[in-house]
A and B are shown apart, each in its own frame.
Chain A
Amino acid sequence: DAKTTQPNSMESNEEEPVHLPCNHSTISGTDYIHWYRQLPSQGPEYVIHGLTSNVNNRMASLAIAEDRKSSTLILHRATLRDAAVYYCIYSGGSNYKLSFGKGTLLTVNP
């Protein structure tokens, strides 16, 4: 299984940036890095994914280390609605399935 390491929990204040770290030291050169989040009582939702370059979309930015052994999901201005469990995943050689770990529980304080 493709293993990532994330902090169990993090806290942030509303309207401040949040940097969620992830270590994936066994990642191969062809594995994409994916981030999903799960709001309370909902199914997970896709946030962003990338291979080597930093990526931006309307939800977040993904910064990937040059050696690809770690990445950081950046929420530029946290809102209360961003309180969720954030999962960092890589496919581990499979192009057809993703294995989720336990993720990081993000708490956003008003």
Chain B
Amino acid sequence: DAGITQSPRHKVTETGTPVTLRCHQTENHRYMYWYRQDPGHGLRLIHYSYGVKDTDKGEVSDGYSVSRSKTEDFLLTLESATSSQTSVYFCAISATGGYGYTFGSGTRLTVV
């Protein structure tokens, strides 16, 4: 397929618990991104990575951290989940960073 997988696909968690979402790619692309999508807001960038151990914040990074210890994996962690973080989370990869993003199928996270 497209060489990008997200796990889990669905998760329900309780307020205050830590949650980690995983994005895995087999394309060896340099750039990886985490977006969240909410009704009325479209897609918003949370964090992105431009190489192993190189990450930067997006427009809605508060409450989220990321790690990239190897090219193929980009992890998104919610240190203490809140109800406002209930959303659909998409991972994307790009060889160049400038265009041709490939998106994963998404993770639907519900914080109760």
- Chain A residues within an 8 Å CB radius of B102: 45-46
- Chain B residues within an 8 Å CB radius of A1: 59
| A44 in complex: contacting residue of B31, B43, B45, B58, CB < 8 Å | B43
- Determine, out of B14-22, B33-41, B64-72, B75-83, the stretch whose residues face the partner at the interface: B33-41
| A32 in complex: contacting residue of B42, B43, B99, CB < 8 Å | B99
Check A100 against B35 for contact (C-beta < 8 Å).
yes
Knowing A97-B45, A100-B43, say if A44 contacts B59 (CB, 8 Å): no
Instruction: Give the interface residue-count category, chain A.
Output: 20 to 34
Whole-angstrom distance between the alpha carbons of A95 and B50 in the complex? 11
The smallest C-beta distance from B12 to any residue of chain A, in angstroms, reads: 18
The smallest C-beta distance from A42 to any residue of chain B, in angstroms, reads: 7
In the complex, A102 has a CB within 8 A of chain B: yes
Interface string of B82-104 (1 = CB under 8 A from A): 00000000101000011111111
Check B101 against A44 for contact (C-beta < 8 Å).
yes
- Chain B residues within an 8 Å CB radius of A32: 98-99
Check A49 against B59 for contact (C-beta < 8 Å).
no
- Chain B residues within an 8 Å CB radius of A80: none
Check A100 against B42 for contact (C-beta < 8 Å).
yes
| B48 in complex: contacting residue of A34, A44, A97, CB < 8 Å | A97
Knowing A32-B98, A49-B99, A87-B42, say if A99 contacts B105 (CB, 8 Å): no
* Chain A minimum-CB-distance residue to B102: A46
Chain A to chain B: the 3 pairs with minimum beta-carbon distance, closest first: A43-B103, A100-B43, A96-B97
For the A-B complex with A32-B98, A46-B99, A101-B42 known, give 18 more contacts whose Cβ atoms are closer than 8 Å: A43-B105, A43-B106, A44-B43, A44-B90, A44-B103, A45-B103, A46-B100, A46-B102, A87-B43, A95-B98, A96-B48, A96-B50, A96-B97, A96-B98, A100-B35, A100-B42, A100-B44, A100-B45
Please report B residues at the A interface, Cβ cutoff 8 Å: 31, 33, 35, 40-45, 48, 50, 58-59, 90, 92, 97-106
